[in-house]
Chains A and B, each alone.
Chain A
Amino acid sequence: MSLLYEYRVFLFSGFVQTLLMSLVVALGTTAVAILLVAMLQSKLRLVSRLGYALVEVLRDIPLMVNVLMVYFMLPLIGLGFGPFWSVCVAISIWGGANGAQILRAGLHSVGQGQRETAAAFNFGPVKTLFLIVLPQAMPVILPPYISLMTAVVQATSLGAVVGATELLRAGQILIEQTTIMRGGSPAYLVYGSILVVYFVLCSLISFVGARLEAYYQRPYRTDASRKIDARAHEIEATVQTSA
């Protein structure tokens, strides 16, 4: 424990990087997910087919391969941003594909009749989406989406593999240094503490997410919300909710 206290500044700077990366991948994931779902909903067959293929392929490739691939390949097309951004890009693409799957299923869960009624009231596509479809889709989308958010936050630990100095990499450096200088590996202590830090971080996200879910579930009675929960679980079973 005294070891962790001694290197608190170094570890904390790693933690700040992890938080920063988490923020970037959360926003990036959402952006990519919206883009992909827009492609899926496109009237042009070619675009929607391409979107479908992208979502399926990206979901089937292991996240580790995705991260390494982006790290090695981006410089080849002249986009060498360093490990931090390449990891962010890789995780956002992977998360975005899973997010698109969630959004598509969530939007699909709102019946066609709702859209037709909205059209009958002369609502445009934007008004229909934001006033009619999304409020009903949100309770279904949110539970799996919150799980996906914790997954992309966990995925930032992959930065250590390509050398972005986030929490896990900071821990590795600390272990290497101590093993060389003092002998005896503090690995269990350092990795154990990192596990606890991530656990607290992800619990926090789940907690805030649960409050948000409750807010969107307010208009529904118990039996209706049980159905919504079942639908949300079904969607969650089709995406990877941990990394």
Chain B
Amino acid sequence: MIDWAYIWAAVPDLMRGLGMTLIVSFLAILFSLIGGVIGCALRVSPIKPLSWLVAGYVEFIRGTPYLVQVFFVFYGLPSLGLRLSIFWSGVVALSLWASVFHIESFRAGLSSVSKDIRNASASLGLRRWHHGLFVVLPIAARSALPSTLNTIVSTIKNSAYLQAIGLVELTFVAVDRIAYEFRSIEMFLSICVIYLAVVLVVSTLGHRLERRLDRPYAGR
């Protein structure tokens, strides 16, 4: 029933698509992590208007469909004077979406560091940035890690939305072939397996990292 030879013949195309998926996801993960750090810093900053601005941005992105955001960036921004290619529209939309979840998980991580720890470092005479870098960051990073990993995996999965604006990534390749050759079972089976494999690899690496970071707490 399943034509394996057809799948085999489609492998080069699918791999090119996978390459694009991975490149877009990688760039978006990178930019969204940077955006998450900056956004989180602004969110917890004492300057209230900035904090509110970031809070509003987070609420807005979380409260709207990602697909409409993608269309807004690709079709809407050119009439406002910002013309991006398909690729960069995708990277921008994906980064904007993911950064919101990073901001929230970093903020939750920071709030897991109790006030007593701040007093403890102050009494040890640590400088502010020493306190931030060597005390707060390791604690906050551990507690933010699970949700950050979840967002990273979601970023890879959500790169599939970009086929809607014509980015030639994995899903686009499959749908494009189906449109010409009608082998939907073969194509969907292949891309599902590929997506599953990618997600499993990334989440396994993530769990390794979690365990590695948990080592100081082992046995507690």
Contact = CB atoms under 8 A, between A and B. Distances in A.
Contacts of B68: 157, 168, 191, 194-195, 198
A57 B196 contact: yes
A157 B76 contact: no
A196 to B, nearest CB: 8
A192 B71 CA distance: 10
B131 interface: no
Interface stretch (B42-50, B117-125, B160-168, B209-217): B160-168
Given A73-B185, A157-B67, A64 B161 contact: yes
A61 B63 contact: no
Contact of A192 (B72, B160, B192, B199): B72
Interface string A148-161: 00100011111011
A161 B159 CA distance: 15
A19 interface: no
Given A168-B65, A188-B76, A191-B72, A60 B199 contact: yes
B196 to A, nearest CB: 5
Contacts of B71: 168, 172, 187, 191
A65 B147 contact: no
Contacts of B23: none
A202 interface: yes
Contact of B191 (A65, A189, A238): A65
Interface string B147-175: 10010001001111101100000010001
Interface string A97-112: 0000000000000000
B160 A62 contact: yes
A63 interface: yes
B67 A191 contact: no
A188 B72 contact: yes
Contacts of A198: 63-65, 68
Contacts of A76: 184-185
A113 to B, nearest CB: 24
Interface in B58-73: 59-69, 71-72
B63 A150 contact: yes
A87 B78 CA distance: 30
Interface of B: 59-69, 71-72, 75-80, 97, 101, 105, 108, 146-147, 150, 154, 157-161, 163-164, 171, 175, 178, 184-185, 188, 191-192, 195-196, 199-200
Given A195-B72, A199-B60, 18 more contacts: A57-B192, A61-B192, A65-B188, A69-B184, A72-B184, A73-B184, A73-B188, A150-B62, A154-B64, A160-B164, A168-B68, A185-B78, A187-B79, A188-B77, A189-B76, A198-B63, A202-B62, A243-B66
Interface of A: 57, 60-65, 68-69, 72-73, 76, 150, 154-158, 160-161, 168, 172, 175, 184-189, 191-192, 194-195, 198-199, 202-203, 206, 233-234, 237-243
